[in-house]
Every structure is written in structure tokens, then in C-alpha cells.
Amino acid sequence: MDILIIDDDAVDRMSAIRTLRKSELALDRIDQSDTAAEGIRLASEHNYDVILLDYQIPPSNGIEILREIRGGNDYSTAIVMLSHSNDERLALACVEAGAQDFIMKSEVTSSRLKRAILISQERHSLEQEVRSSHDQLRYIAERDSLTGLRNRYFFDETLRDAVTRNSRTGEQLVLLLLDLDNFKKVNDVLGHQAGDRLLQEIARRLEQPIRESDKLCRLGGDEFAILVYDLPQLEHVRLLVTRIFKSLEKPLIIHGQTVEVTVSIGVATYPLCATDATGLMKCADVAMYRAKELGRNRVQYYSVDFHEKMVSRMQLEFDLKQAIKGDQLTLFFQPQLDTHSEQLVGVEALIRWQHHTLGMIQPDEFIPIAEESDLIIDIGRWVIEAACRQFSQWVETAQGTHICFSIAVNLSARQLKDHALSEFLQRCLAQHNIPADLVELELTESHLENSLSAVEMLNSLSATGVRLSLDDFGTGYSSLSHLSQFPFSILKIDKSFVQSGDDKQQRTLLKAICAFAHSLGYETVAEGIETEEQKQLCQSLNVNRLQGYLFSQPISAESFENNWLQSVV
Ligand code: C2E
Ligand code: CA
Ligand code: CA
């Protein structure tokens, strides 16, 4: 038996040790400590069978020490409190705080101590049994025995707690109700055992798309629920739903039979749709039935606005996939002029989507959708290819004249994950016979990650000979040291600085930005020039290039040829 004595009184410690030795207990080890802190440390480092703990160890009191030991030590040690006082309330408080026994120091004899220790151990092991069966009971009570998922009881409790908590924090709570579409048929045709196997398999599949913090429960029968906490944006619900449908796409093999399972999903969010747990549940239920009515294998969002928004985004994503394959994407071009000569020195390619029913869609509307999925990778490559093809034609047209201009293409930060991008770029340049130094890649400052892989990717793009330009500069708060890690040679000053009008502070900022950029050898481009004054301001600050509606809006390739190329060729 290993025993620890925590007591600040050396005489009391010695007396306890003497009594222990006389007690005929099988003692292997007796450690002692005269301070609370050391006692707590020893108790956390070694698994003692029993701790004898003095109630009075100034400045702490025994109950505080007791709680601390209990907190860190997982209930594996029996604790006997020793005190000079025979206050019964104190004894009770100690037992409540986790001590197994309480004896007065004046009453300590070998036999009393031995009995206290043995009884404490016994009591302690009983307590542990109760505790572990309580945990087991809780596990059984909260789990669905067929699938191992959390059950209806857990779900009801959790939903209630979550609503209460979120009403305090103001965070969103999203409830997805899922109901299998053809489960009854499986049960009828293949039998109940197959039905059970199917539910188990579905449970495993549904576990894949969710995050650890999401709660997946089986409510009963073929009905499941997913509770999603603290979503950064409602947008993510759509992604989750897509992933759920995807996880069920592959047919299941049950008892040698191929079974295809689809699911109808109803989604409701708190506090948008309902103000309490019951209401939220009702909304999700209504939405789920609506999904069934509309032909199953689909999702329905409760509020009309929410539903329409989600569906139109989903439709747009679907259409966008077609758009890449078809020829609905086009590039517009916006000229850039030399600040002083006002001659054409560059052009920025800006994507447009000619949707078959919705007409022209601006990039601000569909690039974010493309960025959320991997569509941006294909779109990004399409842009590079199309821009190179177009540019090579213009270079040919301009041959023999003295004009020389560059082309700028926008890249999404997400495209830096496209590891073969620099090879792709190199192939495009070679295929269209374009000098690399006439091509610029623009990356938005605010989306740039300061990760090693992003820096490596930018270095490898820069190694192809193209120039890198930091777009919307000034809006992303990049520190100067941060900036020097990236191989940018051009800073594209955000339009807000140029367009601030009479705001004196913004003007001062613009001046500072220009001075800073030039002193570090960056070339500068000012975008969003709409007025003569803005142009003059940039001229006075020696910005290198200007771009904006004052000179031209983004225009089609044909207009660009007619209005800009012909004039210089
Ligand atoms: P950006 O790269 O900052 O592009 C400049 C935006 O400012 C363009 O909008 C342009 O039409 C607009 N603009 C130009 N001059 C003026 C002006 O004088 N006044 C005002 N108010 N605006 C002006 P656009 O074409 O709608 O593009 C919006 C954003 O979409 C772009 O911002 C860029 O971030 C993104 N984008 C466009 N094309 C592509 C692309 O091919 N790939 C990627 N990843 N993003 C693109
Ligand atoms: Ca740009
Ligand atoms: Ca910009």
C-alpha cells in the first residue's frame, strides 16, 4: 500500500507514520509533504492508495486542497481527512468534497487509522463502481443501439441546451432533418435484417461529411438529424448538404444486393426560422416534408428567402460547370495608360459570364461561388489560356510598330493550391509564343496567405518570367516585412485611395503609399480613375500607370481592337 501524508505539522506527521507502522497494514511506501502545493504535486505524480490530509494547512484550507487533488487525480485515491476539530459540519463538508473519511487527530490510534483506511478504500471502490455504471447508463441512454449514433433522447436534450446557449451568444444554429426516401421498400423486399444493415451503413456514411462539433443523431426509424453549431456563414450549409448527398451517391451492397438510397433533407436555422427548440424542429420537419412532396432526393430550406437564396446559388454553381465546358465565359479588357504620356501600356483581362437566361453576370457574383468549390481551378486556367490566345493575336497585329503593352490576368488565392499551375502557364506562353515578361498575374492582397506553400507557389510562378502584381493594395494590411517575402514587382493601389475625393487623410495615405512603393522599387498602378482630378493627383505622385472609367470601362476584345489597338498600330 502506498500512502501520502500531507500535514504542515512535523510532530503530527511523525505520529501518523508511527501509528501506520503499528497498524499491520502492508505498507510499501510512505511519502510526506508539509505544504499544500507539494502535496498536490505528489498526488498528481503518483497513484497513492490512500492520502492522509490534514485539514489545517495555512494558507489553504483542507477542502480547497481536497478539491484540487480530486480535480487532477481522476478519483483513483481514497482520501482520509485528519483534523484537530470535531466539527460535524466540517466532516460532512469534507465528505461532500470527495473525502472518504474524517477523523479527529486526538482519536487516531493504530486500529482506528487502519479501520479508517480500509473502510475508505472500500467506500472509494464502491463509489467508483457507481460512477462507472452511471457513465455506462448514460452512454446506453444516449446511444442508439443499432447504429451507435446519438439517439433521440440525446438530441432533444442537446437541441434544448444549444438553443438556450445560442440565445445568449447570438450564434446561428442549423438543424438538418434527414429522412431516407425508399427505406420502407428495402425493409419490405429484403427483410428487416437487411434494413438494419442499411441503417448502420447509412450512419457510417453520414458521419463522413460532418465536422467533429456537429451532432449526428438517429431520431428513430429512418430519420436522422444533424445539429450544426457556429457556422461561420450560412453558405456552408449548402456545402454540407452537397457533401451529404455525395456521401450517399455510391450504391450500398446489403447482403449481396445493390441498394440505392436517397434522402430528403429539411433545413431550418435558429434564430432565423424559429425562436425555440420545438419551433425549430417543426420548421425543419415542414421543410423535410416539402422536400418529399417535391419529389424526394432533395433539400428544402425552411424560410422562403433562405430557400431561394440557397437554391439559386446551387443552380448557379451547376450552371457555372456547364459554362466552363460551353462557351459562355468571355474576357473583357480594360486598358492601362502610362501616367505621363497617356499611351496604352497595358491591359487587364476581366472575366464575364454570358448566362443563357440571366444575361451578363459580373465576376463579383460568380467568382466567390467558383472559389468555394474547385471550379476556380478550371476557370482560372481557362482565363490564362484565353488571355494568352487573345494577347498573341494582338502582339502579332502590333508587330512592326513601336507599341508594346502587357497583359494582366487575375488569379484567385485558391489557385495557388493548383500545383501544376506554373507548368500550365509555361505551356500557354510557349504555345502562343508570348514573352513571359509581358504577362502580369494579379493577386488580391487581402486573400493572400502568408503560408510557406503560398510563397513557394508564387516563387515558382515568378520563375516562369511573368511579373506578379499585388492587387487592391492597401486593403489587406500586409505588413512591410510580410510584403518582402513575396516576389511582387507591381503594387496596384486600391481604388478607395484614389476615389476618396477630399478626404485629406486618405490623400496623405495615398502619398505615403506611393512614396513607400517607389522607394522599394515597386512599379505602381492606380485603378479606379474616374475624374480628371484623380488623374492629376496620380500624375503628381508619379504613379506609373493609370486605369479607370475615365479612359475606358472594361470592353470586349473587339471594342478594344477598334478603339485602342487601331489608334496605336
Ligand atoms: P479587380 O481585379 O480589382 O478588378 C477591377 C474592378 O474594378 C473591375 O470590376 C473593373 O471593372 C472595376 N473598375 C475598373 N475601373 C473602374 C473605375 O474607374 N471605377 C470603378 N468604380 N470601378 C472600376 P470587375 O470586372 O467587375 O471585376 C471585379 C473583380 O472580380 C476583380 O476586381 C477581380 O477581383 C475579380 N475578377 C475579375 N476577373 C477575374 C478573373 O479572371 N479571375 C479571378 N480570379 N478574379 C477575377
Ligand atoms: Ca485586378
Ligand atoms: Ca483591384
Rounded Cα gap, residues 367 and 316, in angstroms: 11
Ligand 1 atom closest to residue 415's alpha carbon, by position in its atom list: 44
Q: Does the beta carbon of 279 sit less than 6 angstroms from any atom of ligand 1?
A: no
pLDDT in tens, 181-190: 988 888 888 8
Rounded Cα gap, residues 441 and 448, in angstroms: 13
State in Å: Cα 190 to ligand 3 middle: 61
Taking CA atoms only, the protein residue closest to ligand 1 atom 42 is: 410
State in Å: Cα 434 to ligand 1 middle: 24
Mean pLDDT of the chain: 90
Residue 428 pLDDT: 97
Residue 174 pLDDT: 94
Total count of residues recorded for the chain = 569
Residue with the three cell numbers 507557389: 457
Residues forming a β-bridge with 101: 80
Rounded Cα gap, residues 535 and 543, in angstroms: 10
pLDDT in tens, 80-94: 999 988 888 888 888
Residue 147 has pLDDT above 80, yes or no: yes
Residues forming a β-bridge with 252: 259
Cis omega before residue 209 (within 30°)? no
Backbone phi, psi, residue 223, to 5°: -110, 130
Residue 569 has pLDDT above 60, yes or no: no
pLDDT in tens, 468-499: 999 999 887 666 667 888 999 999 999 999 99
State in Å: Cα 495 to ligand 3 middle: 7
Rounded to a whole number of angstroms, the CA Rg of the chain reads 36
Residue 454 has pLDDT above 60, yes or no: yes
Cα–chain center distance at 338: 43
Residue 85 pLDDT: 84
Residue 165 has pLDDT above 90, yes or no: no
Q: Which of 66-75, 280-289, 458-467, 514-523 has the lowest mean pLDDT?
A: 66-75
| Residue 97: pLDDT band with limits 50, 70, 90 | confident
Rounded Cα gap, residues 410 and 417, in angstroms: 15
C-alpha cell at 513: 503609399
pLDDT (average), residues 25-39: 92
Residue 73 pLDDT: 57
3-state SS record for 198-222: HHHHHHHHHHCCCCCCCEEEEEECC
Answer yes or no: are the C-beta atoms of 220 and 180 closer than 8 Å.
no
pLDDT (average), residues 278-303: 89
pLDDT (average), residues 129-155: 89
Residue 303 pLDDT: 78
Where are any strands of DSSP class E within 465-556?
467-473, 490-493, 523-526, 545-546
pLDDT (average), residues 450-470: 92
pLDDT (average), residues 491-520: 88
Residue 105 has pLDDT above 80, yes or no: yes
Residue 172 has pLDDT above 70, yes or no: yes
pLDDT (average), residues 228-237: 79
pLDDT (average), residues 395-410: 84
* Angstrom distances, CA of residue 252 to CA of 201, 208, 450: 8, 15, 43
Nearest by Cα to 407 from 329, 347, 481, 321: 347
Answer yes or no: are the C-beta atoms of 558 and 540 closer than 8 Å.
no
Backbone phi, psi, residue 342, to 5°: 55, 30
| Residue 75: pLDDT band with limits 50, 70, 90 | low
pLDDT (average), residues 507-517: 90
359-361 vs 173-180, strand pairing mode: unpaired
State in Å: Cα 284 to ligand 3 middle: 42
Residue 155 pLDDT: 95
Residue 566 has pLDDT above 80, yes or no: no
Taking CA atoms only, the protein residue closest to ligand 1 atom 25 is: 350
342 by DSSP, 3-state: which? coil
pLDDT in tens, 5-22: 999 999 999 999 999 998
Rounded Cα gap, residues 125 and 127, in angstroms: 5
pLDDT (average), residues 234-260: 89
Q: Which ligand is nearest to the CA of 494?
A: 3
Residue 567 pLDDT: 62
The H or E element that residue 41 is part of is: helix 36-45
Residue 447 has pLDDT above 80, yes or no: no
Q: Does the beta carbon of 334 sit less than 6 angstroms from any atom of ligand 1?
A: yes
Rounded Cα gap, residues 488 and 469, in angstroms: 6
pLDDT (average), residues 538-548: 97
Cis omega before residue 59 (within 30°)? yes
pLDDT in tens, 435-445: 999 999 999 87
Residue with the three cell numbers 447508463: 137
Q: Does the beta carbon of 528 sit less than 6 angstroms from any atom of ligand 1?
A: yes
Q: Which ligand is nearest to the CA of 492?
A: 3
* Angstrom distances, CA of residue 528 to CA of 55, 334, 512: 76, 11, 18
Ligand 1 atom closest to residue 550's alpha carbon, by position in its atom list: 18
Q: Does the beta carbon of 385 sit less than 6 angstroms from any atom of ligand 1?
A: no
pLDDT (average), residues 247-274: 90
Residue 402 pLDDT: 66
pTM score, whole prediction: 0.60
pLDDT (average), residues 308-325: 86
